[in-house]
Amino acid sequence: MTALTHDVVAFALIGASLVGPGQPAVKVHGANNSGSTGYVDLRNPSSAWTDLSGWSMVSCSGREKNALVTFPAGFRVPPGGRVLVAGGDFAGDGTRQVTVPAVDGEGAALLDRRGVFVDRFALTPDSPCREKEAALPCGHGMAPQRDALSTDTDDNRADFTCAPTVG
């Protein structure tokens, strides 16, 4: 696992919305698994702060899960806030950023303190990061992303569409 760096630039906030019953407060909003320039965009669409202390991120390659980062004590995401878990060569866009060497594979997942999947995303049908149907791949300069409210139906194909990459 990679330790967090201190390249916290700023919070970029999106409009807060309420999270439905049984829905995780923080979601995988988008991802671009392109190695050292890749990222996983986490968003908190709720109206409350969410504590990610001890939570972790993994990337998925085939049927394997690879550790990206474990969030330290006190790591919180504000209402409407976002965090990018980004590869070391990611250009950045002014968003609060957690730097890891690379974001590889065909998917990513957020796990709680107990190691239980909170939210996940994948482009391949056999990925352990997939929810129901895999998301469709995107063309050059595009990456899978949820809508502005981070709508989550637990079906990657329904939840993710192609949008311009972050950064």
For residue 15, pLDDT over 80 is answered with no
- Banded model confidence at residue 160, pLDDT cuts 50, 70, 90: very high
Q: What's the confidence (pLDDT) of residue 68?
A: 94
Locate 146 and state its tokens.
């949820």
In a domain, 20, yes or no: no
What is the end-to-end Cα distance of the chain in Å, rounded? 24
Residue 3 domain-assigned? Answer: no
The per-residue pLDDT for 6 is 32
Is 145 inside any structural domain? yes
Q: Closest Cα partner for 82 from 115, 127, 50, 121?
A: 50
User: Closest Cα partner for 25 from 96, 118, 145?
Assistant: 118
Please tell me the total count of domains within the chain: 1
Strand-pair partners of 79: none
pTM: 0.82
Q: Per mean pLDDT, which of 11-15, 24-28, 94-98, 112-116 is the most reliable?
A: 112-116
- Kind of pairing, strands 76-77 and 50-51? antiparallel
Give 66's strand partners. Answer: 59
Give the domain extent around 106: 27-157
How many residues in total does the chain contain?
167
How does pLDDT run across 56-110, given as a tens digit for each residue?
999 999 888 999 999 999 999 999 999 999 999 998 776 778 999 999 999 999 9
pLDDT score for 78: 94
CATH number at residue 111: 2.60.40.1260
The model's pLDDT over 119-154, given as tens digits with 9 standing for 90+, comes to 999 999 999 999 999 999 999 889 999 999 999 999
Angle at 46 between CA 147 and CA 163, to 5 degrees: 15
DSSP 1-43: -BPP-S-----------PPPTT--SSEEEEEE--BTT-EEEEE
